[in-house]
Amino acid sequence: GSTIGIVGGGQLGRMLAMAAAQLGYKCHIYAPDKDPPAAEVAALFTRGVYNDEQALARFGAEVDVATYEFENIAAGPLSALADHAPLYPPRAALEIAQDRLSEKDFVTRLGGRPAPYAAVSSRDELEAALGRIGAPAILKTRRFGYDGKGQARIMNAAETDEAWADVRGAPSVLEGFIRFDAEFSILLCRAPSGEVLLWDAPENVHSHGILDHSSVPADPALRPAIAEAQALARKVADALDYVGMLTLEFFATADGAVFNEMAPRVHNSGHWSIEGALTSQFENHIRAICGLPLGATDLIVPEVTMQNLIGDDVERWRDILSDPAAHLHLYGKGEARPGRKMGHVTRLIGRGERL
Protein backbone atom coordinates (compact mmCIF):
# COMPACT_ATOMS: atom_id res chain seq x y z
CA GLY A 1 0.00 0.00 0.00
CA SER A 2 0.96 3.63 -0.34
CA THR A 3 2.09 5.84 2.50
CA ILE A 4 0.65 9.30 3.13
CA GLY A 5 2.89 11.78 4.91
CA ILE A 6 1.14 14.23 7.23
CA VAL A 7 3.04 17.21 8.58
CA GLY A 8 1.56 18.10 11.97
CA GLY A 9 0.47 15.79 14.76
CA GLY A 10 -2.66 17.28 16.29
CA GLN A 11 -6.26 16.14 16.27
CA LEU A 12 -6.69 17.10 12.62
CA GLY A 13 -3.83 14.76 11.69
CA ARG A 14 -5.32 12.08 13.92
CA MET A 15 -8.70 12.22 12.18
CA LEU A 16 -7.00 12.33 8.76
CA ALA A 17 -4.97 9.23 9.65
CA MET A 18 -8.11 7.42 10.81
CA ALA A 19 -9.85 8.20 7.51
CA ALA A 20 -6.74 7.13 5.57
CA ALA A 21 -6.55 3.83 7.46
CA GLN A 22 -10.14 3.05 6.47
CA LEU A 23 -9.08 3.35 2.84
CA GLY A 24 -6.08 1.07 3.38
CA TYR A 25 -3.34 3.69 3.51
CA LYS A 26 -0.51 3.93 5.99
CA CYS A 27 0.18 7.32 7.47
CA HIS A 28 3.54 8.72 8.47
CA ILE A 29 3.30 11.68 10.84
CA TYR A 30 5.97 14.39 11.15
CA ALA A 31 5.66 16.57 14.25
CA PRO A 32 7.85 18.13 16.95
CA ASP A 33 5.96 16.81 19.98
CA LYS A 34 6.95 13.75 21.95
CA ASP A 35 3.65 11.92 21.81
CA PRO A 36 1.30 13.73 19.42
CA PRO A 37 -2.39 12.74 19.08
CA ALA A 38 -1.96 11.78 15.41
CA ALA A 39 1.01 9.46 15.99
CA GLU A 40 -1.10 7.20 18.22
CA VAL A 41 -3.28 6.18 15.28
CA ALA A 42 -0.66 6.25 12.51
CA ALA A 43 1.72 3.54 11.34
CA LEU A 44 4.83 5.70 11.41
CA PHE A 45 6.00 8.76 13.30
CA THR A 46 9.05 10.92 12.84
CA ARG A 47 9.77 13.46 15.52
CA GLY A 48 11.24 16.61 14.03
CA VAL A 49 10.89 20.36 14.06
CA TYR A 50 9.08 22.20 11.28
CA ASN A 51 12.06 24.29 10.18
CA ASP A 52 14.46 21.36 9.61
CA GLU A 53 14.81 21.33 5.82
CA GLN A 54 16.91 18.18 5.70
CA ALA A 55 14.57 16.22 7.93
CA LEU A 56 11.56 17.29 5.87
CA ALA A 57 13.38 16.33 2.67
CA ARG A 58 14.06 12.85 4.13
CA PHE A 59 10.45 12.62 5.26
CA GLY A 60 9.30 13.49 1.73
CA ALA A 61 11.52 10.75 0.30
CA GLU A 62 9.83 8.18 2.55
CA VAL A 63 6.22 8.90 1.59
CA ASP A 64 4.21 8.60 -1.64
CA VAL A 65 2.23 11.81 -1.18
CA ALA A 66 2.38 14.50 1.48
CA THR A 67 -0.11 16.84 3.10
CA TYR A 68 -0.21 19.04 6.20
CA GLU A 69 -2.60 19.79 9.02
CA PHE A 70 -0.54 22.63 10.42
CA GLU A 71 -0.16 25.97 8.70
CA ASN A 72 3.05 27.48 9.98
CA ILE A 73 5.70 25.71 7.95
CA ALA A 74 8.24 28.10 6.45
CA ALA A 75 8.78 28.34 2.69
CA GLY A 76 12.26 26.69 2.72
CA PRO A 77 11.35 23.49 4.58
CA LEU A 78 8.10 23.28 2.65
CA SER A 79 9.87 23.34 -0.70
CA ALA A 80 12.45 20.81 0.57
CA LEU A 81 9.51 18.50 1.27
CA ALA A 82 7.79 19.27 -2.03
CA ASP A 83 11.03 18.40 -3.89
CA HIS A 84 10.68 14.81 -2.68
CA ALA A 85 6.95 14.09 -2.67
CA PRO A 86 3.85 15.51 -4.33
CA LEU A 87 2.50 17.99 -1.78
CA TYR A 88 -1.20 18.86 -1.53
CA PRO A 89 -2.77 21.35 -1.00
CA PRO A 90 -0.33 23.26 -3.22
CA ARG A 91 2.46 25.26 -1.55
CA ALA A 92 1.09 28.55 -2.85
CA ALA A 93 -2.13 28.02 -0.88
CA LEU A 94 -0.23 27.49 2.36
CA GLU A 95 2.04 30.48 1.74
CA ILE A 96 -0.94 32.78 1.13
CA ALA A 97 -3.00 31.47 4.03
CA GLN A 98 -0.22 31.65 6.61
CA ASP A 99 -0.05 35.43 6.24
CA ARG A 100 -3.25 37.36 7.00
CA LEU A 101 -2.18 40.27 4.81
CA SER A 102 -1.48 38.22 1.68
CA GLU A 103 -4.65 36.20 2.35
CA LYS A 104 -6.81 39.33 2.44
CA ASP A 105 -5.06 40.85 -0.62
CA PHE A 106 -5.50 37.59 -2.54
CA VAL A 107 -9.19 37.21 -1.72
CA THR A 108 -9.82 40.89 -2.49
CA ARG A 109 -8.26 40.46 -5.97
CA LEU A 110 -10.75 37.64 -6.59
CA GLY A 111 -13.69 39.88 -5.72
CA GLY A 112 -14.06 38.91 -2.05
CA ARG A 113 -14.80 41.42 0.67
CA PRO A 114 -12.78 41.29 3.90
CA ALA A 115 -13.32 43.72 6.78
CA PRO A 116 -11.56 47.06 6.08
CA TYR A 117 -7.88 46.35 6.81
CA ALA A 118 -4.42 47.87 6.83
CA ALA A 119 -0.92 46.48 7.22
CA VAL A 120 0.75 47.68 10.41
CA SER A 121 4.45 47.32 11.20
CA SER A 122 5.05 50.11 13.70
CA ARG A 123 3.29 52.02 16.46
CA ASP A 124 2.91 55.03 14.11
CA GLU A 125 1.41 52.91 11.37
CA LEU A 126 -1.04 51.48 13.89
CA GLU A 127 -2.14 54.97 14.86
CA ALA A 128 -2.54 56.00 11.22
CA ALA A 129 -4.47 52.82 10.41
CA LEU A 130 -6.77 53.33 13.37
CA GLY A 131 -7.42 56.87 12.15
CA ARG A 132 -8.52 55.52 8.77
CA ILE A 133 -10.42 52.39 9.87
CA GLY A 134 -11.82 53.73 13.13
CA ALA A 135 -12.61 51.96 16.41
CA PRO A 136 -13.61 49.41 17.41
CA ALA A 137 -11.00 47.41 15.52
CA ILE A 138 -8.95 44.25 15.96
CA LEU A 139 -5.19 44.07 15.63
CA LYS A 140 -4.03 40.61 14.50
CA THR A 141 -0.50 39.36 13.94
CA ARG A 142 -0.01 38.49 10.27
CA ARG A 143 1.39 35.08 11.15
CA PHE A 144 1.07 32.30 13.74
CA GLY A 145 -2.33 33.26 15.21
CA TYR A 146 -4.96 30.61 15.96
CA ASP A 147 -7.86 30.19 18.40
CA GLY A 148 -7.88 33.96 18.89
CA LYS A 149 -4.20 34.10 19.95
CA GLY A 150 -2.12 37.00 18.65
CA GLN A 151 -5.11 39.37 18.61
CA ALA A 152 -5.97 42.53 20.50
CA ARG A 153 -9.25 44.42 20.41
CA ILE A 154 -9.05 48.20 20.28
CA MET A 155 -12.29 49.71 21.55
CA ASN A 156 -10.97 53.30 21.37
CA ALA A 157 -7.76 55.16 20.56
CA ALA A 158 -6.66 55.08 24.22
CA GLU A 159 -6.10 51.32 23.86
CA THR A 160 -3.56 51.70 21.05
CA ASP A 161 -0.43 51.23 23.19
CA GLU A 162 -1.81 48.22 24.97
CA ALA A 163 -2.75 46.54 21.68
CA TRP A 164 0.69 47.21 20.21
CA ALA A 165 2.25 45.69 23.33
CA ASP A 166 -0.12 42.69 23.09
CA VAL A 167 1.16 41.78 19.62
CA ARG A 168 4.74 42.47 20.79
CA GLY A 169 5.37 44.69 17.81
CA ALA A 170 4.97 41.80 15.35
CA PRO A 171 3.98 42.64 11.75
CA SER A 172 0.20 42.81 11.95
CA VAL A 173 -3.00 43.83 10.24
CA LEU A 174 -5.61 46.11 11.72
CA GLU A 175 -9.17 45.08 10.89
CA GLY A 176 -12.40 46.97 11.31
CA PHE A 177 -14.76 45.31 13.78
CA ILE A 178 -17.65 43.65 11.93
CA ARG A 179 -21.07 43.68 13.59
CA PHE A 180 -22.14 40.33 12.20
CA ASP A 181 -25.49 38.54 12.40
CA ALA A 182 -23.74 35.18 12.43
CA GLU A 183 -20.57 33.38 11.41
CA PHE A 184 -20.34 30.49 8.98
CA SER A 185 -17.71 28.58 7.06
CA ILE A 186 -17.46 27.11 3.60
CA LEU A 187 -16.03 23.60 3.46
CA LEU A 188 -14.80 22.73 -0.01
CA CYS A 189 -12.90 19.80 -1.50
CA ARG A 190 -11.27 20.01 -4.93
CA ALA A 191 -10.00 17.02 -6.88
CA PRO A 192 -7.00 17.11 -9.25
CA SER A 193 -9.53 16.99 -12.12
CA GLY A 194 -10.93 20.34 -10.97
CA GLU A 195 -14.12 18.79 -9.60
CA VAL A 196 -15.34 20.80 -6.59
CA LEU A 197 -17.66 19.55 -3.85
CA LEU A 198 -19.15 21.64 -1.06
CA TRP A 199 -20.74 20.56 2.20
CA ASP A 200 -23.69 22.33 3.79
CA ALA A 201 -22.19 25.44 5.37
CA PRO A 202 -22.05 25.20 9.16
CA GLU A 203 -23.06 28.17 11.30
CA ASN A 204 -20.31 28.68 13.87
CA VAL A 205 -20.39 30.21 17.32
CA HIS A 206 -17.11 31.31 18.88
CA SER A 207 -16.39 32.03 22.50
CA HIS A 208 -13.23 33.93 23.54
CA GLY A 209 -11.90 33.56 19.98
CA ILE A 210 -12.27 29.76 19.97
CA LEU A 211 -14.90 27.77 18.07
CA ASP A 212 -17.51 26.61 20.58
CA HIS A 213 -20.05 24.86 18.38
CA SER A 214 -21.21 24.45 14.79
CA SER A 215 -24.70 23.68 13.50
CA VAL A 216 -25.77 22.42 10.12
CA PRO A 217 -27.71 23.58 8.25
CA ALA A 218 -27.16 27.26 9.01
CA ASP A 219 -30.10 29.60 9.69
CA PRO A 220 -32.07 29.91 6.40
CA ALA A 221 -31.68 33.70 6.67
CA LEU A 222 -27.98 33.18 5.85
CA ARG A 223 -28.62 31.49 2.51
CA PRO A 224 -27.86 34.49 0.26
CA ALA A 225 -24.60 35.21 2.12
CA ILE A 226 -23.66 31.52 1.94
CA ALA A 227 -24.30 31.37 -1.81
CA GLU A 228 -22.06 34.42 -2.29
CA ALA A 229 -19.36 32.86 -0.11
CA GLN A 230 -19.52 29.55 -1.96
CA ALA A 231 -18.93 31.32 -5.26
CA LEU A 232 -15.88 33.05 -3.78
CA ALA A 233 -14.53 29.79 -2.32
CA ARG A 234 -14.75 28.16 -5.77
CA LYS A 235 -12.80 31.07 -7.27
CA VAL A 236 -10.12 30.74 -4.60
CA ALA A 237 -9.81 26.99 -5.17
CA ASP A 238 -9.67 27.31 -8.95
CA ALA A 239 -7.16 30.18 -8.85
CA LEU A 240 -4.78 28.03 -6.78
CA ASP A 241 -5.39 24.86 -8.82
CA TYR A 242 -6.19 23.52 -5.39
CA VAL A 243 -6.26 19.85 -4.35
CA GLY A 244 -7.81 18.76 -1.05
CA MET A 245 -9.86 20.46 1.66
CA LEU A 246 -10.14 24.23 1.78
CA THR A 247 -12.05 26.15 4.45
CA LEU A 248 -13.10 29.79 4.35
CA GLU A 249 -14.58 31.57 7.38
CA PHE A 250 -17.12 34.38 6.92
CA PHE A 251 -19.22 36.87 8.81
CA ALA A 252 -22.84 37.12 7.66
CA THR A 253 -23.91 40.77 7.68
CA ALA A 254 -26.82 42.83 6.40
CA ASP A 255 -24.74 43.51 3.24
CA GLY A 256 -23.76 39.91 2.64
CA ALA A 257 -20.71 37.74 3.29
CA VAL A 258 -17.60 39.35 4.75
CA PHE A 259 -14.48 37.18 4.41
CA ASN A 260 -12.62 36.51 7.68
CA GLU A 261 -9.86 34.00 6.94
CA MET A 262 -9.04 30.79 5.14
CA ALA A 263 -7.40 27.53 6.14
CA PRO A 264 -5.78 25.28 3.49
CA ARG A 265 -6.81 22.14 5.34
CA VAL A 266 -9.53 20.26 7.13
CA HIS A 267 -11.21 22.45 9.75
CA ASN A 268 -12.80 22.23 13.18
CA SER A 269 -16.10 23.54 11.75
CA GLY A 270 -16.23 20.43 9.53
CA HIS A 271 -15.92 17.80 12.26
CA TRP A 272 -19.69 17.20 12.15
CA SER A 273 -19.18 15.66 8.68
CA ILE A 274 -17.66 12.47 10.19
CA GLU A 275 -21.10 11.22 11.21
CA GLY A 276 -23.33 13.85 9.62
CA ALA A 277 -22.40 13.67 5.94
CA LEU A 278 -22.19 10.81 3.47
CA THR A 279 -18.45 11.47 3.21
CA SER A 280 -16.44 13.36 5.83
CA GLN A 281 -14.00 16.20 5.20
CA PHE A 282 -11.19 13.90 6.32
CA GLU A 283 -12.05 11.11 3.90
CA ASN A 284 -12.50 13.44 0.95
CA HIS A 285 -9.20 15.16 1.71
CA ILE A 286 -7.45 11.78 1.59
CA ARG A 287 -9.33 10.82 -1.57
CA ALA A 288 -8.41 14.12 -3.26
CA ILE A 289 -4.68 13.99 -2.46
CA CYS A 290 -4.53 10.33 -3.51
CA GLY A 291 -6.31 11.00 -6.81
CA LEU A 292 -9.37 8.90 -5.92
CA PRO A 293 -12.94 9.87 -6.83
CA LEU A 294 -14.56 12.10 -4.21
CA GLY A 295 -17.52 10.90 -2.14
CA ALA A 296 -20.90 12.62 -1.86
CA THR A 297 -21.08 15.34 0.77
CA ASP A 298 -24.84 15.36 1.46
CA LEU A 299 -26.18 15.64 4.98
CA ILE A 300 -27.57 12.30 6.10
CA VAL A 301 -30.09 13.77 8.57
CA PRO A 302 -32.01 17.06 8.71
CA GLU A 303 -29.73 18.59 11.34
CA VAL A 304 -26.31 18.07 12.91
CA THR A 305 -24.55 19.83 15.77
CA MET A 306 -20.91 19.67 16.85
CA GLN A 307 -19.84 20.89 20.28
CA ASN A 308 -16.15 21.33 21.09
CA LEU A 309 -14.85 20.03 24.41
CA ILE A 310 -12.38 22.66 25.51
CA GLY A 311 -10.20 22.38 28.62
CA ASP A 312 -12.22 21.07 31.57
CA ASP A 313 -15.29 20.37 29.39
CA VAL A 314 -13.70 17.02 28.67
CA GLU A 315 -14.31 15.89 32.24
CA ARG A 316 -17.99 15.54 31.26
CA TRP A 317 -17.20 12.72 28.84
CA ARG A 318 -19.06 10.06 30.84
CA ASP A 319 -22.20 12.22 31.05
CA ILE A 320 -21.97 12.85 27.34
CA LEU A 321 -21.88 9.11 26.72
CA SER A 322 -25.03 8.67 28.82
CA ASP A 323 -26.82 10.26 25.85
CA PRO A 324 -26.91 7.22 23.54
CA ALA A 325 -27.16 9.50 20.52
CA ALA A 326 -23.95 11.41 21.25
CA HIS A 327 -20.92 10.65 19.10
CA LEU A 328 -17.96 11.35 21.37
CA HIS A 329 -14.48 12.05 20.00
CA LEU A 330 -11.53 12.33 22.37
CA TYR A 331 -8.19 13.38 20.95
CA GLY A 332 -6.00 11.52 23.42
CA LYS A 333 -4.30 14.68 24.64
CA GLY A 334 -2.84 14.54 28.11
CA GLU A 335 -3.47 17.63 30.12
CA ALA A 336 -6.79 19.56 29.85
CA ARG A 337 -5.29 23.06 29.87
CA PRO A 338 -7.73 26.00 29.58
CA GLY A 339 -8.49 26.78 25.94
CA ARG A 340 -7.08 23.45 24.72
CA LYS A 341 -9.27 21.48 22.31
CA MET A 342 -9.59 18.05 23.97
CA GLY A 343 -12.41 16.48 21.95
CA HIS A 344 -15.83 17.12 20.45
CA VAL A 345 -19.29 15.64 20.43
CA THR A 346 -21.57 15.33 17.40
CA ARG A 347 -25.33 14.89 17.51
CA LEU A 348 -27.49 13.91 14.57
CA ILE A 349 -31.04 15.22 14.80
CA GLY A 350 -33.85 13.91 12.65
CA ARG A 351 -37.60 14.57 12.65
CA GLY A 352 -37.43 16.22 16.08
CA GLU A 353 -35.48 13.44 17.79
CA ARG A 354 -31.85 12.72 18.42
CA LEU A 355 -30.53 9.76 16.46
In this complex, which beta carbon is closest to ligand ATP, that of residue 44 or of residue 210? Answer: 210
Neighbours of 1 (CB within 10 A): 10
Cα→Cα distances 264→243, 260, 327, 329, 350, Å: 10, 14, 26, 23, 32
Binding mask 238-277 for ligand ATP (x = CB under 6 A): -----------x----------xx----------------
Cα angle value 224/281/82 (rounded, 5°)? 115
Q: Which ranges in 65-99 belong to alpha helices (H)?
A: 75-82, 91-97
Query: Which of these segments, 25-33, 44-52, 75-83, 145-153, binds ligand ATP (CB under 6 A)?
Result: 145-153
178: annotated binding-site residue? yes
Cα→Cα distances 109→261, 262, 348, Å: 15, 15, 39
Neighbours of 131 (CB within 10 A): 11
Give the one entry of ligand ATP, Mg ion, none that residue 237 binds, where binding means its C-beta sits below a cut-off of 5 to 8 angstroms depending on kind: none
In the three-class reduction of DSSP (H, G, I as helix; E, B as strand; rest coil), residue 77 is classed as helix
DSSP string for residues in 208-235: TTEEEEEEESPPGGGHHHHHHHHHHHHH
7 sits near ligand ATP (criterion: CB under 6 A): no
Q: Considering the complex, what minimum distance in angstroms separates the CB of residue 104 from Mg ion?
A: 12
176: annotated binding-site residue? yes
150: annotated binding-site residue? yes
175 sits near ligand ATP (criterion: CB under 6 A): yes
206 sits near ligand ATP (criterion: CB under 6 A): yes
Q: Where are the beta strands (DSSP E) in 17-136?
A: 26-31, 44-47, 65-68, 117-120
Residue nearest to ligand ATP (CB): 178
Give the one entry of Mg ion, ligand ATP, none that residue 138 binds, where binding means its C-beta sits below a cut-off of 5 to 8 angstroms depending on kind: ligand ATP
Q: Considering the complex, what minimum distance in angstroms separates the CB of residue 145 from ligand ATP?
A: 4
51: annotated binding-site residue? no
40: annotated binding-site residue? no
Cα→Cα distances 275→92, 243, 280, 300, 349, Å: 31, 23, 7, 8, 11
C-beta separation of 150 from 140 below 8 A? yes
103 sits near ligand ATP (criterion: CB under 6 A): no
Give the one entry of ligand ATP, Mg ion, none that residue 86 binds, where binding means its C-beta sits below a cut-off of 5 to 8 angstroms depending on kind: none
Q: Is the peptide bond before 217 cis (omega within 30 degrees of 0)?
A: yes
315: annotated binding-site residue? no
Query: Which of these segments, 32-40, 75-83, 139-147, 315-323, binds ligand ATP (CB under 6 A)?
Result: 139-147
69 sits near ligand ATP (criterion: CB under 6 A): no
Give the one entry of ligand ATP, Mg ion, none that residue 177 binds, where binding means its C-beta sits below a cut-off of 5 to 8 angstroms depending on kind: ligand ATP
Rounded CA separation 333/245 (Å): 24
Query: Which of these segments, 61-69, 90-98, 143-151, 330-338, binds ligand ATP (CB under 6 A)?
Result: 143-151
Q: How many helices (H) and strands (E) does the chain have?
A: 11, 18
- Detail the residues annotated as belonging to a binding site for ATP: 100, 140, 145-151, 175-178, 183, 206, 260-261
Question: Interface residues with ligand ATP (CB under 6 A)?
Answer: 115, 138, 140, 145-149, 175, 177-178, 183, 206, 209, 249, 260-261
